[in-house]
Amino acid sequence: MPRWSVFPTGLRLGCTQTCPRRWLSSTRSVLAESSQRWGDTLRLPKTTFPLYNDPSKDSKLQHKTTEGLYRWQWEHAEGPLFVFHDGPPYANGDLHMGHALNKILKDIINRYHVSLGHRVNYVPGWDCHGLPIENKVLKQLGVEINQLTPSQIRGEAEKFARSEVASQMEQFRQLGIMADWSPETTYRTLDPKYELRQLEIFKNMVEKGLIYRQHRPVHYSPSSRSALAEAELVYNDKHVSHSVYVSFQLDPANPQMSDTLRALTAGREKVTLLVWTTTPWTLTANMAIAVNPEMRYRIVSIKDSSAGALDAGESIVIYAADREGALREIPGLLPPPVVPLGEVDGADLVGATYRPIFASRPVSLSSSASLPIIPSSHVTRDSGTGLVHCAPAHGAEDYAVMQALGLIRTSSSAKVATSVSPATAADLVCHVNGLGQFTEDVAEVVGQEAAQRLAGKDVLDQGGREIVALLTENGALRKIQRFKHRYPYDWKTDKPVIVLATSQWFANLDNIKEDAIAALQDVSFVPAISRNRLESFIRSRSEWCISRQRVWGVPIPALYHLPSNSAVLDSDSLTHIMSVLHEHGPRYWWDGPVSAFVPPSRREGMSDAQLEENWQKGTDTMDVWFDSGTSWSLLNELYANPVGSNQGGKVHKRTFGADVCLEGSDQHRGWFQSQLLTAIGSATNAERARAAPYSTLITHGMVLDETGKKMSKSLGNIVSPMTVIHGGKGKNEKAYGPDILRLWAATVEFGKDMSIGPTMLQQCAETMRKIRNSSRFILGSLGDRPYANKVERADLGLAERYVLHRLHRLDQVARAGYEAYNFPQVINELSYFANITLSSFYFDINKDCLYAERENGIERRRVLTVLDEVLTTMTKVLAPVLPHLAEEIHATLHGPDASSVFTTPWAPLPDDYVDPKAEEEMEKLLRIRSKVFVLLEQARKDGNVKSSLSADVAMNISSATTSDIIDLLGREENTLKALFGVSGVSLSDRTVDEVAPTWQYKETLEVEGTEIELAVRPAALQKCPRCWMYTRHEHDELCKRCTDVVRP
């Protein structure tokens, strides 16, 4: 086999940090003294693009890529319509990291669609009503709620909400969010037009029979002074209640007592029912005791040792047989000896009666009447005593059981939506007011003396303690225990709630939830498992308490007829009321006279003065989830609207308002659900009644600190988005700018809880530095302008075809990542391409070519052709996540007055860039390269090599072997020394004798059956003072390549 040497034109590759480099510079490099005069002949990269910069500080650039871009695309984009519906954040306080994550994720999605040429509809909004704003206003003014009129509170609340909207809007702008922030292209739930749309939706639900009023138990927050829906509750697993075991005395005179029970208790003076409750304050409202008819109950005799017992001696106690083991383990509850007297079925207890627990106190005769023992399947063997105290004013299950048995009267059913008469308080026994305090009416149960100790006391605090004291005095208390359990809290005030019977407005969900579930079958969920969460929430709800006892909110426009004590809310009344509100505005409900709202059909010839005496306007406001839930109506005109929805020349029919909604996972029980229910519930045709208002729902988790803990002021671990952008006073609070924060949002797996902190931000900053550095090198090589003198694809070398193949993969992977909302996939692929394919490979092997080759030589033109394509595609890939960086690159390349980088659609790369053969061949060469680098490192450690350029590589291949690898090495002879970073490469037959060099390092590897012996040895020629390659003959001034370039 003949011997030949491979001496291609140029490269300098530093394979370690000790290798000399000629790196990017905006000024002339300082060359070694001996070659300084050749410095001006090199084409070192020059660019105005800095390595470190925060382009968001450029107000012109920032406007170009945010408000200016949104307006431009809305006016000029010709692609299909893409609607991203913004869930409104609450207008109270500065942005937290959850806000930042939420808005950035939305913006990435929107920008991706703009980059494809789509027409994006995105209208930012704010939720502006509710108690937190009321409380904040009262706190700022330093007054109690009763010191201001409702009108004054509403006025102050509106001013506060608008100021908070302005503050949050400015902070959202600093995140680089693409939106038109003008009043016409944003929304607030306090806007009159918004409120009127909401009231029209409410009217539709009334007309469909879905709204009704009822006096019944609901979750009620004393701290908010309002009823709460299930979606407004959070559950505290560490709540501690003071539970009690108490005794109710069986009434022996009841003729309805079963024969079995009567026989077992005959002649016994004191037969008691053992009951356990975690809410002793509800015992004043006891109306029954429930047992399970299918359970067995044990009757035992014990020594009466209850605290404060009025008489000592034997006491007969009844409890569930299955609970005896657990009850005996409680010290003092069942003191020995426990003498069994017999067992009965729960059904044998039903029909018996018992004396009220406070009957021994001096009270009215009416409150001393015996109460029933009733059957109920909600009594279980799992806890308690098997006998359940029922206070239907304070328990939904108690209410349902007693209502089904006809023991309490109800005022309406879910099927009635016209005029209804509310139940009076007498229907249910309830002695607790809206402040969560006992009322003076409790005297009806405990007597006047004891009532003085209870009235005005909080039932969850001192009032509850007084009840325990009364039970002790009565001899009814058998045991008190601290009990840690899961308990509902007000999600706004983080304080415990109670269950309280109040007159509220409800939406019937039983009639629409099957349609809602069916509508969700056409909705995509990200992550997919979140579908189960939303569907389960909807299936578990039968009704929605939509009324709130708050001042600041949208009114429930019900009229109350005082003479008949009835509420009027029907199609006729609402049609008239809505006509008045459309004329005068929704605030007129609060400020206008009631006579203006009474419909003609109910005026009965009365004058305005008479109407004022006979009618009253409702003061309840709507649940804020109803407020924000009706925001889909902003998009109502987009349903089936073909404008901007052409795809491939065909009309793209829309059956939904929003293509995408994205919020935190807590919104499955909040905004996602309330949107769906109000849309389905108010639909006026069959098609809309089974169509969700959105096509895709995306949820993200909670942002935690770097250790995985929830952020809180008490822990001092809050990471503010504004501090990340602008820096803070803390040691680790550097100013990173918005793109670093956006990069963090794109690198986390947002579908679950994620962390942020100094370490993660520093890692993102390093990723950004590498991306900027790669972009800067290309810009410098191109001279800050697009490259015009490109070569044809047929003229590209293997390295160029390989890089374009990898670029095509980046393009495809990035598109797939954006489409699937898998943003880490995009960033990981981009980082790999910038760090490995470019910096570690293509830049290194081509620096010598770019610096030292002839300006218009084919070798240099090949590289610049590829770099131009690489920069364009990289910029498109990173633009949705890093818009400021993308605009900075684009402005550097095309001038500061160029239009936004997003105005040119991101076109797919040609399929002919896909070149598996180039990838296969390059991977073979890279395997050899890795071995060469190992040998060079050994030579460096031994002191034989300082720069890899001072070495040559000899590749010895057996002449007896034939393989594609030999053809590849021969074909790519001009690539090898650049790839290895050495000055010369020789390929020879291993059988040829060679003169041994002064030093060499050898390694053998096999590639596709061909054994290759690699030898790193001293360079055969001298160092060229211009290119620093060891390719100059001893008596020549420059190497041949440099001579040809300098002296053509």
| pLDDT digit string, tens, across residues 14-32 | 333 333 334 443 333 433 4
788: CB partners within 8 A, 6+ apart: none
State the first-to-last Cα distance of the chain, in angstroms, to the nearest integer: 36
Alpha-carbon distance of 966 to 971, in angstroms, equals 9
Query: What pLDDT does 884 receive?
Result: 97
β pairing state of 296-303 and 314-320: antiparallel
Question: How many alpha carbons fall within 13 Å on the CB side of residue 39?
Answer: 12
Give strand pairing partners of 616: 560
- Taking residue 209's Cβ as centre, other Cβ atoms within 10 Å add up to 14
Cis peptide before 527 (omega within 30 of 0): yes
Alpha-carbon distance of 1044 to 909, in angstroms, equals 37
Indicate the residue type of 410.
T
Alpha-carbon distance of 1046 to 1033, in angstroms, equals 17
| Contact between residue 929 and residue 893 where contact means Cβ atoms under 8 Å apart | no
Q: Which residue has tokens 């054994």? A: 1011
Alpha-carbon separation of residue 517 from 211, 691, 698 (angstroms) = 20, 10, 17
Query: What pLDDT does 961 receive?
Result: 59
- Taking residue 476's Cβ as centre, other Cβ atoms within 10 Å add up to 25
Strand ranges (E), 37-192: 81-84, 119-122, 125-126, 187-188
Structure tokens at 259: 């024969």
At residue 63, φ and ψ (nearest 5 deg) are -65, -40
Alpha-carbon distance of 179 to 199, in angstroms, equals 28
Question: What percentage of the chain's residues is helix, strand, coil (to nearest 5)?
Answer: 45, 20, 40
Alpha-carbon distance of 949 to 930, in angstroms, equals 16
Query: What pLDDT does 364 receive?
Result: 46
Alpha-carbon distance of 606 to 597, in angstroms, equals 13
pTM for the structure as a whole:
0.83
Alpha-carbon distance of 658 to 672, in angstroms, equals 12
Alpha-carbon distance of 40 to 852, in angstroms, equals 11
Alpha-carbon distance of 986 to 1005, in angstroms, equals 17
Q: Which residue has tokens 């950004």? A: 768
β pairing state of 694-700 and 703-704: unpaired
**Max Cα separation, the chain?**
132
Alpha-carbon distance of 279 to 487, in angstroms, equals 11
Q: Tens digits of per-residue pLDDT, 686-697?
A: 888 889 999 999
Alpha-carbon distance of 477 to 303, in angstroms, equals 15
Q: Which residue has tokens 């569907």? A: 535
At residue 949, φ and ψ (nearest 5 deg) are -70, -20
Cα 111 to the chain's mean position, in Å? 19
Which positions of the chain have pLDDT values less than 50? Answer: 1-34, 307-311, 364-366, 412-426, 644-651
β pairing state of 615-617 and 353-354: unpaired
Query: What pLDDT does 792 receive?
Result: 92
Query: What pLDDT does 988 receive?
Result: 83
- Taking residue 657's Cβ as centre, other Cβ atoms within 10 Å add up to 26
Alpha-carbon separation of residue 150 from 146, 147, 156, 157, 597 (angstroms) = 9, 10, 10, 10, 19
Alpha-carbon distance of 522 to 524, in angstroms, equals 7
